[in-house]
Structure 1
Amino acid sequence: MKPWLQLSSSDLADQLPDGEDQEVHFPAALVEAILSEYTTPGQTVLDPFAGFGTTLVTAEVMNRRAIGVELLPDRVDLIRSRLTGAGTVEVINGDARKLSTLVDGPVDLCLTSPPYMDAVDHPENPLNAYETLDGDYATYLDEIAAVFGQVASLLRPGGHAIVNVANMRVDDRVTTLAWDVGRAISRHLTLRQESFLCWDRQPEWLTGDYCLVFQRPVDSTGHPYP
């Protein structure tokens, strides 16, 4: 992946489904670039935090198989409504923290953006769709690590996980979410690269947006490390 990528903020607005007011984290153009580089037609892409389904819809258009997990039932319905129904994409209503019980491997690529959390006065729990007030930043990072431990077990040897995550400013204090999530995921996968996303109009709350590229390594015989 290039060390930096130029993106247009208008693409995000154009992709927001009618009636929705929450942000789409990344545009289809970014997904297209990543899938072109890291997969070939027929290979399988996993998104454990499917959201509005950008990864899944783009994968279908590009003739990849795809599996998405989404916690909110209404989002699952929305994603399914955006697909052609050709049968190459599976959308599962479930909790990413239980990923290994929901998805069978192997998958060739995991491409996702986890729900964000800042480290300053954030009682809502992102992994419960911000609907409960048991949020704790350290616990959140541990659970993200556990999700990607399961991703690592599903990836084929040598397969990649690419995670879009940003550092952000809240009340004049910066949460280094990208670095903290990167360290958490590195408990299970090897960080290979970071790519900086250059937006034409960067939101004020965002101080740096990244794609972090991880890999499930193999040993000299081609077998995955445990």
Structure 2
Amino acid sequence: MPRPPLPPYLTATASELVAERAAGADGADEDVHFTEHLATEVIERLSEPGDLVLDPFAGFGTTLLVADRLGRRGLGVELLPERVDVVRARVPAATIVEGDARGLHRLLPDAGPVALCLTSPPYRTANDHPHDPLTAYTLVAGSYASYLADLASIAQALRRILRPGGHLVLNVANIRHAGHTTALAWDVARAVGAVLPFQGETVVHWDTLPHDFTGDYLLTFRRES
């Protein structure tokens, strides 16, 4: 069995999040928890200068910012127009497309080959969470099962544009909410792993775990051929 391409542990701190919070973010965006340090570790290890790095849930542009800093070409998709504006201001060299990641085949018809897809999808718990995260929590729609199926469908679209040997890395946490623990990271690993072979997990060790987290992980998948 091949060795995982990322180390078993990486560190992150609450102070990093505060220092890196993008202009335009506010208290409603407190669940954004992917740091530049984590992005740097992944992008340096799993891509080379000049490679195309994709983030289909671009948010405030952390992946694209770090990709540009490291000499990679950044490509992102983001649903919320106000966040698209933030990314364009932060990373003028990156390409950012406004739209729903579930329509990647329409939004990015000519993209590829992608060396690395690095992203943190919006989270959904298995209970007490009727709003669909893939609509930016604006619609009461779907279910936990349909959410996982949607992530698998997005992975299928990513598989078509990842180069052979290219990687998908997802930052996903397990969550305790309303007295119930959702093993979101493991459920996402199973759903996406049915499309792209799962390579292993990296534990993100926080000095203070973000709100409701019981554990935070980088899940690595690889397109074999």
> Shorter-chain-normalised TM-score: which range?
over 0.9
TM (norm. structure 1) is: 0.92
- What does residue 150 of structure 1 align with? 157
- What does residue 101 of structure 1 align with? 106
Residue 194 of structure 2 is aligned with which of 181, 187, 211?
187
Map Cα deviations across residues 129-178 of structure 1 (whole Å, 9 max, x no partner).
10011141111110010001101111000100000000000012100100
Moved more, 138-147 or 196-205: 196-205
1:69 matched to 2:77? The reply is: yes
Partners of 2:146 and 2:12 lie apart in 1 by: 32
- In the alignment, is the contact (CA less than 8 A) between 1:126 and 1:135 conserved in 2? no
TM (norm. structure 2) is: 0.93
* Count of aligned pairs between the two proteins: 215
- What does residue 125 of structure 1 align with? 132
Partners of 1:55 and 1:180 lie apart in 2 by: 24
Question: Unaligned 5+ residue runs, structure 2?
Answer: 1-5
Partners of 2:23 and 2:165 lie apart in 1 by: 39
1:28 matched to 2:36? The reply is: yes
Question: Unaligned 5+ residue runs, structure 1?
Answer: 218-223
Quote how far apart the aligned CAs of 1:204 are: 4.8
Structure 1 outlier segments of 4+, above 3 Å: none
Partners of 2:76 and 2:180 lie apart in 1 by: 33
- What does residue 221 of structure 1 align with? none
- What does residue 65 of structure 2 align with? 57
Partners of 2:80 and 2:157 lie apart in 1 by: 20
Quote how far apart the aligned CAs of 1:13 are: 1.3
Residue 196 of structure 1 is aligned with which of 184, 200, 203?
203
Paired letter, 2:22: P
Paired letter, 2:197: T
Partners of 2:217 and 2:131 lie apart in 1 by: 24
- In the alignment, is the contact (CA less than 8 A) between 1:162 and 1:213 conserved in 2? yes
Partners of 1:137 and 1:109 lie apart in 2 by: 27
Quote how far apart the aligned CAs of 1:102 are: 1.6
Identity in percent:
47
Any idea what SS the aligned residue of 2:217 has?
strand
1:9 matched to 2:17? The reply is: no
Paired letter, 2:75: I
Paired letter, 2:14: S
- In the alignment, is the contact (CA less than 8 A) between 2:23 and 2:86 conserved in 1? no
Quote how far apart the aligned CAs of 1:193 are: 1.1
Paired letter, 2:174: N
Map Cα deviations across residues 13-49 of structure 1 (whole Å, 9 max, x no partner).
1111235221322100111111111111100101000
Cα distance 1:204–1:78, how it changes in 2: closer, same or farther (>3 A)? closer
Any idea what SS the aligned residue of 2:121 has?
coil
Any idea what SS the aligned residue of 2:157 has?
helix
Partners of 1:135 and 1:12 lie apart in 2 by: 31
Partners of 2:143 and 2:183 lie apart in 1 by: 15
